[in-house]
Structure 1
Amino acid sequence: MSPHNGEGHGQDESSYDDPTGDDRKYGHDTEGRAGFDRRSFLKIAGVATAGLAATGLSGTAGAAPTRDSFSFDRVVNAVDDLGMDPNGQSPIDGALDRAIESGTLVEFPPGEYKYTESHSWDGVSNAGIAGTGSSQRDVTFLPEQGHQVRLVNGDLGGPILLENFSFQQYDDKSTLPWIRVRSPGGSLVRDIEWLGKTGLGPSMSVGSPYVFTYETTTQDGVNVAENLIIGEDAPAHEAQYPEGVQVCRAGGSHVGEVVYRNLRFVEQNSNPIRYTNPPGVITIEGGEFIDNTHTSLRVSAGRHPSKQSVVDGAYISVSKDWGNLRGGLICDSSNGGDAGMVVKNTTIEWDVNGGEVIEFPDWGGHGAVTFRNCIVRNDGGSATIAADATSDTSDDAITVENCSFTGSGGGFVAENRGGSVIRDSCIGLSDATIRGFETQNVGSSGCRTPSDGTDGSADKTTTDETDGTEDTTDLPNTLVVQGTGTATRYTFTVSEELQPVDSTIESHDTVDGRTADAWVTTSSHADEFAFSGSVTAFEYAEGGPVDITLNGESVAAEDLVDTNDGPSAEVTVTATDGLTAELSAEGSTDPDGSIESYEWAVGDETYSGSTATHAFGDAGTYSVSLTVTDDADASASTTADVSVSDESQLRIQGAGTPTQVVVEVSGELTALEDTIEVWDEVGDSSATVWVTDTEDVDEFTFTGELTNVSFNEGEADVFVDGTAVDPSLIGPKEETPKDLEIRGAGTPTQVVVEVSGELTALEDTIEVWDEVGDSSATVWVTTTEDVDRFTFTGELTNVSFNEGEADVFVDGTAVDPSDV
């Protein structure tokens, strides 16, 4: 671990993001754009907001906002109403400043919008900016190149909505489109992308720029950001810390909660997320953080009176070392004494030798953190968890529960952190040194890997290395009880077996046979149980309510207790392939886990089991019945009518250029008339049509097979029954001929060869005494230099020797004639 390296951990002040009063300080640099070939993480569609006429904001500051939380006094069109230039030539600054006021949403039609100044939103409430395109890239804001310019900059009086647009960072090192939002709560920033290469910032001694500053300025407030993307199309300019640009950050003004959902941050040159010393908390739900430098997530628990920071379901992957790598996840409160953060359901893949996978640095001063149901693959030369001591030892234990660790990397160190424990976990690391942690029920076999996911479905049985006992929770039902901020004691009973899961139960909670008596407190506090049978009683002994999840579905406490004395049957029929359907009884209820049989009837065909597959002979409507019977001979039956069709759906969608498409089918082709224009030609089994942009779609139904899709001009997307198809794979394909070689073995040999397709001799290898037909040949070879060569289609069906012996090769591989 590195000592304190002058990283400026004292910079987390409320004014940290004002390095200079001059947004035009930085110079201009141009470099060619480097493309980024990665799979697309999100296809983001904007939500049109025209016609919103109500006033005010629904919802409260304490609740997480959604798009439906907003209504506006007025919605104005940036081009039609405000006269802004959508072609990126004339600046929009004056028109935008005049439009920024409480109650106003400014909608931007697809286009490019140039701005040269930072825009103040101080005191504004219930206002916003929204693109109306089908993708966030349809509306792009162009900051003046070479400068730091904030399209949105303000200490807001209330919530703000920013959605469905992108920023152009160009490819230089000094352009920075920056958003700074300080909101009391209720703000929503979503579906936004930063294009181009993220540039460089000044050293932290004079302040640093950020891409997105997001703070909640009231303790009860919640602000949300979701579906943010940066680096998808180009990596950032490489930089050594602190010269890069941190993406998301907050300072001392952040006292409430910020929720980040589904971020996609790729190859950024500094911390993608840095919330290290604000009093407020951060919640990270999902998201991918790929090959970023310094640290992928640099976070702390915060000092909120009732909330703690939570990282839930994130994915971190590091295979690129930029030269100043610190870690995948750093727990850093900059000596603020924060404690109590939870990291759960998170996956880290580590393939570099620099830094440490999870680090508690000596200058970070972070206290207790719990890691639950996480998966880490460490194939670098780094420690997996490296925790330096803190100055405050009262609450600094590190708890690791139901986690899996694999790879060739290093182990675990907790320096002077009493009470640190690794329990109910699997450690399959080849260098699994453990120092400073107690271990409970820790094994080394059957560890989960990143491909297994973090849903807790695996790794339920682990072995304690000390006493060999097993803790098994292989029961069919799961119940999760989550706190809502009020200390709550609850009890419940199940009809059969009950066990706690993932060691979420504290020492003051009890599970006695089929009954649990437990407490939950904060909204991040959850107890999890596995059970068989049904819940027969649930009640609050003190406080309440709580949030309850049964088998992944939210359920109210009053609906949790199952009073059904017998099974019920429900039929689900899903067409899988034309006339073939999948029959499912998954909706049937089985309160006691006692259904003994499932009996299906479709015409004269019968099946058993909770699912079945039935192939119908013809299109039409059929009656499907299901009967379920439990072990007490109680039964329930239901019948459903299902319509099946031998027609398939064909959709041809434009991709942005004028395209002429030819389609052919083996059966009958029928166009949906309202999708066909006068210049399209449609026959009984073929059509020639034109499409242009993504809004231009031609649709058909057809029977038989799709035998041809070809483009006379341009390109388009093709879908059959909603699934994208590759036109190059449709229709018969010309077979690639195989090579056949017959080589002499030293004696005169007459060989007979036959193929199922067409046989063609290479003429310069054939002598006058050889006989070659369309699919067979009789030839002579002698020495190893005497070779007869052919190409053929189909299969080699016969190789026999009338005299002597020879060697036979197909595509360079020796063939045993007796196997042909």
Structure 2
Amino acid sequence: DCHIEQRGSSSFRATHTRGVLRVEGGLFKNNDNTNMRISAGDHPEKTSWIKGATVIMDADNLNEHARDGDSLDSPEGLRIDSTGNGYAGVLIEDCDFIFKSCPTSRGIVSSPTWAGHGGFTLRNCRIQNDTSVQTIHADSVDTDTADKPWGVNLENVSITGSTRSQPAGAAVCIDNDRNGSTVQNSCIHFPNGDVDGVLVNDATNCEIVDSNINVSGQATVFSGADVDTSNITSGDSCPLPSADGSTGGDSSTTDDSTDSTTDDSTTDDSTTEPLPNEIRLVGTGTTTQYEFTVTDSLQASGDTIEEWDDIESGTATGWITTDGVEDAYTFSGDIDSFSFLEGESEIHVNGEQVSESTVTGATTDDSTDSNTDGSTDSTDDSTTDSPDLSHELRLVGTGTQTQYEFTVSDALEASGDTIETWDTIDGTSASGWITTAGVEDTFNFAGSVTSFGFVEGEAEIYVDGEQVTESTVTDAVTDSGTDGSTDSGTDGSTDSTDDTTDSQNELRLVGTGAETQYEVTVSGTLEASGDTIEQWDDVSESSATGWVTTEGVEDVYAFTGTITSLSFLEGEAEVYVNGTRVDPAVFSLPNTLVVEGDGTETTYDFMVSGDILNDPLVGPTESDDSLTNGKAKGSVTDGIDAFRFSGDITKMNLAGDAALTFEDNDG
């Protein structure tokens, strides 16, 4: 029950001795270097432990004994350290760690490589992290020095807070050779910024089970690791720690996504159309204050702007510090002035990095001058609405009479004189015929191919020089924007599966000769495509009901988002999504799971308690992947395998570097 506060170095250090140390209770607050530093010891029957202690770090609020100019340098919460002796097995139990403000630090709970410590256990602990400090980091273990076991065990650990980023990218980082590590009956809730849940690098026989991981990024990320997962959910909040050691409520209020509502000028960005230009300020780890003015309109982009940032008319002032975190704005006109009042950060205008001295020349937007003659400056591509038709689609004849049709998300035009009079382009859709072997129809387009189908025959398909198939052509390009920009966004998200649902998709219902009534609802927008919809069909903003009967006749819709439900009230019809025939039962499955490759092969094998089908909006699995009786088994290298399922994930084995994302929508 010791109270040790505001020491210039560790409150205690027990790393050299072979004996064990046991800490029970106590408050350790605002101590520099480390608040607690301990080793397991080398006793034949006992091990060191810390039980019932509270660690608080609030570097911005030192107590009355601090003198002017006093500050903390690099305080840690708990360092597990045997100073090269290789001890293993320390226990941390029933402890609370609260980090409210903190300068640079190794982490709240860490075990560095040079510390030479083996495994350790955190049990029944609660961690609140409102800083950018790493939450838990078990660095790679020195297998020549450290005693076994080498694994890290998290048992009934709650991790919460308003952090927006983590140095390792994830709340929990388990590094090389921490074999046998486990995360069980634990909860991670980091809803803000871009934070993954658990990262495992190059470790074997690891396990994540019976845990809730509700984070803004990926739930789990494995790199060269062998990890079994089962019964992972993503919908709950987590218990919060309290300064008196009791559990204080839950983490449902740690989401800061509505902070900007305190400033009238930045409220409700989600309903505001973005302006034509974008400026992003990206933190570099230095406390930075900026100020800039534009010649016309200015608004925040998304929820990147905090309550301490301010927009007034065409001027913005703000603060940014954490490495990789960004403040983003959209604007019309030009940047009239820009300056760093303190520190510095990266500056990006329309996806191009610029400097403080060149930012005012980064745009020459004359789109807001109502007295112009309508002409545009052809030398300034960054501020016009002209799409970047940088992608190419080629259809090459094989000697078979072939009719094709396809649609792209943004813009489409013929390339050269390859298109004949019987080929047509209508907006972002094209249809045509090709027969003679080696003769080709070529198109340039912006965005991605959202649907493709051979109405008759077949031909070779090439996208940007790479041959693809009818079933994979829609996955060949994953542009996330409509302006040809290579900037993937301002929110730091790494979930590339969003590209498909944000762009326009196609749903076709094809009659089979049976009188059929259908009903469909999407999460985004829905509209009739062409003149396929009859007067007895009814289409609203996000849903439609209709009839289709005659064999081969079809009702076609364009939509954004995902199909949340599709049912036949009477009869049945064939269903095609982006040109691929699908089982309509997939749209009744509420949960999603995505395995995204990173260039090296990853194998997976998992089981759910309900039904499972491929997600047609992301694309079909490869031919060697299988789905049977609630089980999915396959591999992924560069692409994405995606599934919809009901029930819970009861078992999962994932070996390789792929990223795993899941969404639990049925509790």
Do Structure 1 and Structure 2 share a fold, with TM-score over 0.5?
Answer: no
Q: Relative contact order (alpha carbons < 8 A, sep ≥ 6): 1 or 2 greater?
A: 2
Question: Which protein is bigger by CA-based radius of gyration?
Answer: 1
TM-score, normalising length: structure 2: 0.33
